[in-house]
Amino acid sequence: MNTFGNLLKITSFGESHGKAIGVVIDGVPAGLKIDEGFIFEELTKRKPGQSKITTQRNEADEPIIVSGVFENKTIGAPITILISNNDSKTKDYKSIKDIYRPSHADFTYQKKYEIRDYRGGGRSSARITAGWVAAGAIAKLFLKNFNIEVKAYTKQVYNIVLKTPYTQLNLSVSDKNNIKCPDEKIANEMENAIEEARKNGDSLGGIISCIVENCPAGLGEPVFDKLNAQIAKAVFSINAVKAIQFGDGFNIVNFKGSQINDEFIMKNNKIRTLSNHSGGIQGGISNGETIYFETAFKPVSTIFKPQKTLKTNNETVIFKPEGRHDPCVLPRAVPIVEAMTALVIADFVLLSKTNKM
Amino acid sequence: MNTFGNLLKITSFGESHGKAIGVVIDGVPAGLKIDEGFIFEELTKRKPGQSKITTQRNEADEPIIVSGVFENKTIGAPITILISNNDSKTKDYKSIKDIYRPSHADFTYQKKYEIRDYRGGGRSSARITAGWVAAGAIAKLFLKNFNIEVKAYTKQVYNIVLKTPYTQLNLSVSDKNNIKCPDEKIANEMENAIEEARKNGDSLGGIISCIVENCPAGLGEPVFDKLNAQIAKAVFSINAVKAIQFGDGFNIVNFKGSQINDEFIMKNNKIRTLSNHSGGIQGGISNGETIYFETAFKPVSTIFKPQKTLKTNNETVIFKPEGRHDPCVLPRAVPIVEAMTALVIADFVLLSKTNKM
Amino acid sequence: MNTFGNLLKITSFGESHGKAIGVVIDGVPAGLKIDEGFIFEELTKRKPGQSKITTQRNEADEPIIVSGVFENKTIGAPITILISNNDSKTKDYKSIKDIYRPSHADFTYQKKYEIRDYRGGGRSSARITAGWVAAGAIAKLFLKNFNIEVKAYTKQVYNIVLKTPYTQLNLSVSDKNNIKCPDEKIANEMENAIEEARKNGDSLGGIISCIVENCPAGLGEPVFDKLNAQIAKAVFSINAVKAIQFGDGFNIVNFKGSQINDEFIMKNNKIRTLSNHSGGIQGGISNGETIYFETAFKPVSTIFKPQKTLKTNNETVIFKPEGRHDPCVLPRAVPIVEAMTALVIADFVLLSKTNKM
Amino acid sequence: MNTFGNLLKITSFGESHGKAIGVVIDGVPAGLKIDEGFIFEELTKRKPGQSKITTQRNEADEPIIVSGVFENKTIGAPITILISNNDSKTKDYKSIKDIYRPSHADFTYQKKYEIRDYRGGGRSSARITAGWVAAGAIAKLFLKNFNIEVKAYTKQVYNIVLKTPYTQLNLSVSDKNNIKCPDEKIANEMENAIEEARKNGDSLGGIISCIVENCPAGLGEPVFDKLNAQIAKAVFSINAVKAIQFGDGFNIVNFKGSQINDEFIMKNNKIRTLSNHSGGIQGGISNGETIYFETAFKPVSTIFKPQKTLKTNNETVIFKPEGRHDPCVLPRAVPIVEAMTALVIADFVLLSKTNKM
């Protein structure tokens, strides 16, 4: 159950404090040019220790390509990428060995497996998403050949909301600040809010928006692998995600059909829709408009205030963690959302080659 | 891509106006008692023509079990259930043969396959979910052996909202009205709103809530088949779904970690959580609390007001449909949400038998 | 586990004496012309009651296409084909309800499931392969677009062997006799041997040869879905198969490398091999030569001589069956071998569209 | 397509001369004790350079467990094992860069991918099976908990045949000689034959027998994942395999049904069969008898005699390889056959936990 995808498949492995984490990417067509620098750049976007508002764990997060690439090109063989765990301070975690941290996966893993690697959350750690970002980088390289671009950004942190719709934003701005929000002023407010939460030993959640530009019509498979269904599954794989909505999302219920149907029109000799309430997907298949969705991340479960919880022997305990943690995952989650989305789109591009005689 | 599930798998087939629609359910353990009456009851809940607010298409929707059941018990072989399409008025659809109906799947199917069965939406019709409901009925029969119960209800239609939380509702009330809302008064308001929309040739959307009671801790598979990820995929397979949220959902971002963490406590000698902001799932695995999620359905795309759209030859046309359609899918979608959820839970119950030595 | 294939998938369902048996074929590209007459012809080749040497069970075996075909073309939706069980004489089987027939699947099914449909072998009956032949017919229609042809024939029945290599045979002759052997004289001898075995209440096995002509180089997926690996799995799915060999097969061990390597040469401006000891597959991938394999079927387990065996209550019993059975499956197995092979090749043709940038 | 298995899945990666080869093993139940020494021992059995009759490539083949094992126990997370490529003499292979070696996968890979890692066969090298042996070691550790044992041995090399049936052999003898043949005298003859072939620059093939002891009745899934079907697929994944037969195999066609049916009898209060022509599998499901099969390996394609072949530019060339190669793969293939078989059996043990209510 650690494999995701149909033709383009990733297999994730590794624990927070094991030797390494990594990913096997299978199904990448042969002959794709691999730019290792680009993979490293993508990993840098989710790397810990980037700024004062992220965890101070110090990892180089250098991707080691173990297989599948020969003379800078894919050869049709599975691509394995390893990322070492160097700065894994195991001693930090002895104190949580016998504790079920509130809203963490300690308890559920213990119930499921009756054994767990408690160090840094073990397999349930978000550290393993570094492998997904590496895989997503390869998916992005693949998608570039089709001119398809996946771009996510931080839309909301706690009560600070970027209200401007994506159509009116210059998304490249989000690459220039720690928050990955395409509005410098709001990014600044968000950063302050996170910094304040950090000082108070508290944590914040928020919303990430993601768009896919130039996605051709016809991607997505009826009826159980609808494009939105598969993106939803991909995004819910990411730690702390609690919700997702496409196009108008939950808000669409406040309108009548006559208000939110997307009328077909001709534009530059192509069939397009006048509005995009559907978020680029109709009947589970892309319609050629911009794909648009939002996803909510809960506040980080690790807070530095004392909390009541249970020990594994059922005793009540007051718990206050040590170690290093992000007070808000949003900035580092942006590249993960992009990666998982890019993997889904690339998979459907491959599948679409087999739909018609 | 018409198969869903890991060990308990359903394969869906059929088009709105073909000979029949149906489902193959594979992986059901041998020796499960099959109550055909129960399957029929479940199908009756989503059957067309139940009341004036649903489509007047007249289908008996009697399930025919073709295989896999012997002397009223499963034998470990795939169970195939057929449901005939009797009242398929093909003539109603000649008029839409060459039209891309706004916000329907006509255009995306045409782009994907370059051919489509235009009659009643063909494969993209919600009629095929009758098979899923039949499969879900078998999943429910399986889950009864573990005392697990899946229950959904209509929470919102357009701007009429049932604000009472599920913990304070008598959910069995929802079986007694056309809307499947567990509050008679609000159900009445919803019905009136739908009736009014119908009269105006318009359509409404809404929100369905779903809860799973008595789900044991430990269901859900890291890292890509998280319980919420798989439920999300299952629910997004349903026509018209635009959003899903678990536990506090999108609203969780308005709180700080210290406000929404679920503290572990002992209760009746069992480890429980004091609050349930997580919606019964932590780290993608059930924690033994009630699983709770909400999902939004857009207003039905078919409205009986004239709309501008395109013909397949790119000409603009004013379109006003004939035929029979629900002005609001919510009432009939409730059993579909239950069915897809039950299938996911049953699949994970089976998988959980293989997690530990 | 009743689904086979990667992109082109078949899901098999049904028991010998249930309402119907059938198949769902998913992944067939849209726009393939479906010739129902051809499907019926293929089914007729494996139909019971064709001649005195096959079982006298009388089934029309008319395929009913329930879904996935619109105006004689595939639409990208799953194709379901039903075949009714009309002449299922259930009373014949009451006598075997409590008996484990020697070398049948009665005992193993009982151990596996603790329940079984004993009528005619239930799910373990070769009757279900009718669905596979129907699916294989669609695969053959698909392959015709690529000029690829799959052809099997009876090479050996008991001790009567057709020694002529396939390269020197006119394979179309096999369609003209009951045995499906491309040498009329040997076919005649085989038929006599089967008839004699039938009279004696005994049964015979044999060997089927299968070739694939015009298969392009490059089909087959490293490393676990090698073309030979997947064909082997497909063929071992067929009842009574005990062995398979490709190219020179077991006999290759009697030679040295210098004797059996296939030298590359230019022929008509194409890269070919001088010999074909490899049977058209090297490194698990087709090399453009004729694919060639042989598979052994054991003598039918049902014989009409008294045999000692056990009852389900562990008592010893002398068993002599009633009912209708083939004394030799070879003639009816030829179209099944073709069908399963055609399905594998078609699946790999689809996969090959995604191997390269 | 580099993943094999249903619940217990292995994903293979790596090329002969890349950084490392390896495997991810997913689905191993939590709480299995891992004996790293045992994995190393198993790898040593297929290691190159063991004796003068195997390739002199010098690899330590030390397995590095990267993930999934914590304090010597599995935790339910994927287990990744890396094996470095240290002694990869790339320079040896420059000479074959532009040549299609006879009966190798050079040509088919080139046709499939239009690019290939020519060094040592790249992805098509048998070196990657080291990862499978490591995974198989873990499957064996799992099976020990059920007292199931998988044991293979060399039965034939070229024309030297061990005729004694497995029931009369002391299989542990095979661990004591280079050939892994359980008869010292015949092992000696085989070794001499291989040594002579090596001196002549030629190569030999042969037959490996494999048995599974104490396999419980009920393993194997109808209808496409029959136990023999899945073992066949697993074994055909191994380089150079050309044939497989179960029980009496091809020879069964020389007998009548009355001669080869396996009569059920009571033995030590258990249902057993008097004979075992079926090789322990009936209807695709284990019947509790010893599982028995044989598989043929062709002579190694690399020979040190000059051969005519083509260059990638279609020119004819006389080819005589350099480098290091086994003149006969049989001895090193024995642990690979065991590993793939153990993986299949372990997978079906897990699946069998979900067959019944």
The whole-angstrom separation of Cα B58 and Cα D64 is: 64
Report whether pLDDT(D50) > 80. Answer: no
pLDDT at D59: 74
DSSP D354: T
Residues of D whose CB is below 8 A from A67: 13-15, 18-22
- What's the CA gap between D150 and C184, in Å, rounded? 46
- Tokens linked to C170: 């006119």
Spatial CA neighbour of B61 closest among B76, B75, B46: B46
Half-sphere exposure of D284 (CA within 13 A, CB side): 25
For the segment A48-69, the average pLDDT, to the nearest whole number, is 80
Instruction: For D351, name the nearest residue in chain B, comparing CA atoms only.
Output: B354
The reported pLDDT for the residue numbered D60 is 80
As a whole number of angstroms, the distance between CA B78 and CA B69 comes to 9
Query: How far is Cα A281 from Cα B242, in angstroms, rounded to an integer?
Result: 10
pLDDT-derived band of residue D86, with 50, 70 and 90 as boundaries?
confident
Subunit contact B77:C12, Cβ cutoff 8 A: no
Q: Which class for A313: exposed (0-12), middle (13-18), buried (19 or more C-beta within 10 A)?
A: exposed
Cα–Cα nearest to B15, from C30, C8, C133, C130 = C30
Count how many Cα atoms sit within 13 Å of the Cα of residue B301 in the half-sphere of its side chain.
Answer: 25
Q: Both ends of chain A: CA-CA distance in Å?
A: 33
For residue B322, name the pLDDT band (cuts at 50, 70, 90): confident
Q: Give the chain B residue whose CA is nearest to the CA of C123.
A: B77
Please give the radius of gyration of chain B, using alpha carbons only, rounded to the nearest integer. Answer: 21
* pLDDT band per the 50, 70, 90 thresholds, residue C46: confident
**What pLDDT is attached to residue A322?**
78
* pLDDT tens column, D112-127: 999 999 998 999 999 9
Answer yes or no: are the C-beta atoms of B296 and B243 closer than 8 Å.
Answer: yes
> Which is higher by pLDDT, A120 or D349?
D349
Please check the confidence at residue B92 and state whether its pLDDT lies above 90. Answer: no
Query: pLDDT at position A31, please?
Result: 98
pLDDT given for residue B89 in this prediction: 61
Do B163 and B152 contact (CB within 8 A), yes or no? no
Please indicate whether residue C1 or residue C292 has the higher confidence score (pLDDT). C292
Let me know: does A238 contact B289? Beta carbons within 8 Å.
Answer: no
Average pLDDT over residues A116-130: 94
Task: Answer whether A273's CB lies under 8 Å from A289's CB.
Answer: yes
pLDDT for A147: 98
The angle at the Cα of A330, spanning A325 to A335, to the nearest 5 degrees, equals: 105
The pLDDT of residue B220 is above 70: yes
**Structure tokens of D288?**
């509790």
pLDDT of residue B56: 64
* Partners of residue D351 in chain B, C-beta under 8 Å: 354
pLDDT for B96: 86
- The ipTM value here is 0.97
Residue A214 to residues A162, A245, A287, B79, Cα–Cα distance (Å): 24, 20, 10, 42
Domain residue ranges of chain D, discontinuous segments joined by +: 3-352
CB neighbours (10 Å) of residue D90? 11
Q: Do A18 and D73 touch (CB under 8 A)?
A: no
Using the beta-carbon criterion (under 8 Å), do B357 and D32 form an inter-chain contact?
yes
Distance in Å, alpha carbon of B21 to nearest chain C alpha carbon: 7
pLDDT over 80 at C48, yes or no: no
The pLDDT confidence band at residue C270, using thresholds 50, 70 and 90, is very high
Predicted local confidence at residue B51, as pLDDT: 72
* Per-chain mean pLDDT for chain A: 95
For residue range A175-204, list pLDDT tens digits in order: 999 999 999 999 999 999 999 999 999 999
Question: What are the chain D neighbours of A11 within 8 Å (beta carbons)?
Answer: 3, 11, 24, 26, 78
Q: What is the C-alpha separation between C198 and C53, in angstroms, rounded?
A: 8
Using one digit for the tens of pLDDT, what is the confidence trace for B329-354?
Answer: 999 999 999 999 999 999 999 999 99
Instruction: Compute the half-sphere exposure of residue A73: CA atoms within 13 Å on the CB side of its CA.
Output: 13
Yes or no, beta carbons of D299 and C225 under 8 Å apart: no
pLDDT in tens, B21-68: 999 999 999 999 999 999 999 999 988 766 767 666 677 889 999 999
How far apart CA A281 and CA A279 sit, in angstroms, is 6
Tell the CATH superfamily of the B3-352 domain: Chorismate synthase AroC (3.60.150.10)
* pLDDT, average across residues D159-186: 96
- The pLDDT of residue C329 is 95
- Provide the sign of the torsion angle of the four alpha carbons D91, D97, D103, D105, taken in this order: positive
pLDDT at C256 over 70: yes
Contact of A201 with A194, CB cutoff 8 Å: no
> For residue A236, which of B33, D117, B206, B249 has the smallest C-alpha distance?
B249
Q: What percent of chain C has pLDDT over 90?
A: 90
Name the token pair of A113.
Answer: 């497996």
Percent of residues, chain A, with pLDDT higher than 90 = 90
Buried b (16+ CB within 10 A) or exposed e, D46-85: bbbeeeebbbebebebebebbbbbbeebbbbbbbbbbbbb
Q: Residue D221: name the closest of B357, C18, C124, C296 by CA.
A: C124
Chains that touch D (3 or more CB pairs under 8 A): A, B, C
Query: Using the beta-carbon criterion (under 8 Å), do A296 and B253 form an inter-chain contact?
Result: yes
The C-alpha atoms of residue A342 and residue A3 are separated, in whole angstroms, by: 16
Q: Please tell me the predicted confidence (pLDDT) of residue D225.
A: 98
Q: Rounded to whole angstroms, how far apart are CA atoms A96 and A109? A: 14
* DSSP annotation of A110: H
- Yes or no: say if C342 and C331 are a contact pair by the CB < 8 Å rule: no
Look at B357 and D7 and tell me if their CB atoms are within 8 Å.
no
- Given a cut of 70, whether residue C88 has pLDDT beyond it is no
Closest among C296, A275, B176, C350 to D260, alpha carbons compared: C296
C323 min Cα distance to partner chain A (Å): 43
- Per the structure block, which two tokens stand in for C199? 């009279």
Using the predicted structure, report yes or no on whether residue D356 has a pLDDT greater than 70: yes
Query: Cα–Cα distance between A140 and A145 in angstroms, integer?
Result: 9
Whether residue D12 is predicted with pLDDT greater than 80 in this model: the reply is yes
pLDDT class of D46 with cuts at 50, 70, 90: confident
A292 bridge partner residues: A211
Rounded to the nearest 5 degrees, what angle is found at the Cα of B34, between the Cα atoms of B28 and B35?
145
For A265-311, what is the HEC assignment?
A: EEECCEEEECCCCCCCEECCEECCCCEEEEEEECCCCCCCCCEEEEE
Residue D198 has pLDDT above 80, yes or no: yes
Report the residue from D7, D32, D222 with minimal CB separation from B354: D7
